C-alpha cells in the first residue's frame, strides 16, 4: 500500500546560541506520487500561535482509493545546549478533521542515534524497546524531562542489546546523543471521482533571539531595502525577534500542480515581518499578508522572521 506522508520531515535542526531559542520547520500533508490523487486546493494560515491548513484532495479515478496517512513531526534531539521551541505544546495542539469530522490519529514514536561523526541517523527504535524504554520514555526529547537524562544514559549503557551497544559511543564518558520523532497516522479512503477535505492545525515550533543582526539574517529571510528601512524607522535594527519555518516543497509531490493555493501570514501588532516569496504579496489587513497562486508547484520552503518594533512601545 502506498502511503501519504506528512511534510514535517526534518532535514536539520536549527539550534541557536545560548541567548536564543532553536526551532525546526513544520509542514503539511505530503504524498508519494500517485496518479489518481490530486491536491486540488490548499488554504494555509501561518502565525506564531497557530498553523492551520485546509486541503481539498480530488480522486481522479473511478474507484475508491484507501491509503495510510502519515504525518511525521520533526526529529528532535534529546541532548541540547540552548533553549528550544515548545515541543509539548505542538503535541497537545495537533488536531485533524476529515470532511468536517474530528479524527484521532494514532501516535508512533521512533528513536534515532547518530551513526558517525557525519551525523547520519540510524533508526534504533526496536533496540530501545528491547532495553525497556516505553513510548513515554522515548518521547523525552519532546517532553524535555531533563531529570530523566542520567537514568536513560545508565539504562542504555547497561542494556545488553548488541545493535544498541554497537551504536553507542565507545567512550563511556561521552554523552549519548539520541533523538526521537513522533508520527501520527490514520487510514483514509478517497471516494471515486470525489473531493476529500482534510484540515489540520497545531502550534508551530517558534524560535528566536534577543537581538537581530541584519547582516547575518538578510539572505535567510529575504530582508529587502524596504524591510530594513522599516527596521530603522522602528528603531529595531538589533531588536529581539522570533522565527519559524514551514516546509512547502512537498506540495509538489502530487498528481498535478495545486490548482488553487492561498497562503496567509499573520504578524502581531507592532511587529515587522519578512520572508522569501517569488510571487505577489498582498497586505489584506494591518497584520495579515496574503499570497494566491494558480497551478502552483512550490519550489522553496518558508522561513519567516517576526521583529519586535521598539518604536511601538
Residue 91 main-chain phi, psi, to 5 deg: -60, -45
Q: Which helix (H) or strand (E) holds 264?
A: strand 258-266
Q: Name the residue among 13, 29, 18 with its Cα closest to residue 247.
A: 29
Domain count, the chain: 1
Grid cell, residue 46, equals 501561518
- Arithmetic mean of pLDDT over the chain: 82
155-178: b or e for each residue (b if 16 or more CB lie within 10 Å)? Answer: ebeebebeebeebbeeeeeeebeb
pLDDT per residue as tens digits for the range 229-245: 888 888 877 788 899 98
Grid cell, residue 227, equals 524591510
Per-residue model confidence (pLDDT) at position 9: 28
Q: Given a cut of 70, is residue 164 above it in pLDDT?
A: yes
Q: Give the span between the Cα atoms of 14 and 11, in whole angstroms.
A: 10
What number of CA atoms fall less than 13 Å from residue 246's CA on the CB side?
27
In which band, very low, low, confident or very high, does the pLDDT at 82 lie, cut at 50, 70 and 90?
Answer: low
Out of 31-35, 60-64, 70-74, 178-182, the most confident range is 60-64
125 vs 84 pLDDT, higher one:
125
Q: Given a cut of 70, is residue 80 above it in pLDDT?
A: no
Domain that holds residue 108: 3-312
pLDDT per residue as tens digits for the range 264-284: 999 999 898 999 998 899 999
pTM (2 d.p.): 0.80
* Alpha helix (H) residue ranges in the chain: 87-93, 125-130, 135-138, 140-143, 149-158, 162-167, 214-221, 225-233
Q: Give the span between the Cα atoms of 263 and 277, in whole angstroms.
A: 11
Residues 6+ apart with CB under 8 A from 103: 96, 97, 186
Q: Give the span between the Cα atoms of 116 and 169, in whole angstroms.
A: 9
298 vs 263 pLDDT, higher one:
263
User: What residues does 303 pair with on adjacent strands?
Assistant: 245
DSSP string of 62-94, one letter each residue: SS-EEEEEEEEEEEEES--SSEE--HHHHHHH-
Q: Name the residue among 27, 84, 53, 23 with its Cα closest to residue 253.
A: 27
Q: Give the span between the Cα atoms of 252 and 30, in whole angstroms.
A: 8
Specify the CATH number for the domain of residue 190.
2.60.40.3680
Structure letter (DSSP) for residue 174: S
What percent of the chain has a predicted confidence (pLDDT) above 90? 39
Q: Name the residue among 197, 183, 185 with its Cα closest to residue 42.
A: 197
Amino acid at each position: 500500500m502506498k502511503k501519504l506522508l506528512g511534510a514535517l520531515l526534518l532535514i536539520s535542526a536549527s539550534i541557536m546560541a545560548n541567548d536564543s531559542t532553536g526551532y525546526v520547520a513544520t509542514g503539511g500533508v505530503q504524498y508519494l506520487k500517485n496518479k489518481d490523487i490530486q491536491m486540488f486546493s490548499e488554504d494555509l494560515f501561518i502565525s506564531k500561535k497557530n498553523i492551520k491548513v485546509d486541503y481539498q484532495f480530488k480522486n481522479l479515478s473511478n474507484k475508491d482509493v484507501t491509503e495510510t496517512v502519515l504525518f511525521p513531526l520533526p526529529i528532535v534531539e534529546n541532548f541540547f545546549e540552548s533553549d528550544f521551541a515548545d515541543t509539548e505544546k505542538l503535541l497537545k495542539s495537533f488536531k485533524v478533521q476529515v470532511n468536517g469530522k474530528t479524527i484521532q490519529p494514532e501516535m508512533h514514536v521512533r528513536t534515532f542515534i547518530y551513526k558517525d561523526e557525519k551525523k547520519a541517523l540510524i533508526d534504533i527504535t526496536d533496540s530501545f524497546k528491547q532495553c525497556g524504554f516505553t513510548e513515554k520514555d522515548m518521547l523525552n526529547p519532546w517532553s524535555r524531562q531533563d531529570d530523566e537524562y542520567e537514568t536513560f544514559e545508565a539504562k542504555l549503557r547497561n542494556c545488553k542489546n548488541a545493535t544498541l551497544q554497537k551504536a553507542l559511543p565507545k567512550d563511556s564518558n561521552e554523552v549519548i546523543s539520541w533523538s526521537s520523532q513522533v508520527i501520527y497516522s490514520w487510514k483514509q479512503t478517497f471516494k471515486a471521482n470525489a473531493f476529500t477535505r482534510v484540515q489540520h492545525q497545531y502550534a508551530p515550533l517558534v524560535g528566536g533571539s534577543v537581538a537581530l543582526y541584519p547582516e547575518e539574517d538578510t539572505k535567510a529571510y529575504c530582508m529587502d531595502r524596504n524591510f530594513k528601512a522599516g527596521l530603522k524607522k522602528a528603531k529595531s535594527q538589533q531588536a529581539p525577534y522570533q522565527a519559524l519555518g514551514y516546509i512547502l516543497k512537498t506540495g509538489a509531490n502530487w498528481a498535478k500542480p495545486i490548482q488553487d493555493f492561498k497562503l496567509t501570514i499573520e504578524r502581531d501588532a507592532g511587529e515587522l515581518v519578512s520572508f522569501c516569496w517569488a510571487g505577489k504579496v498582498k497586505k489584506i489587513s494591518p497584520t495579515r499578508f496574503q499570497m494566491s497562486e494558480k497551478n502552483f508547484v512550490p519550489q522553496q520552503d518558508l522561513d519567516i522572521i517576526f521583529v519586535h518594533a521598539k518604536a511601538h512601545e
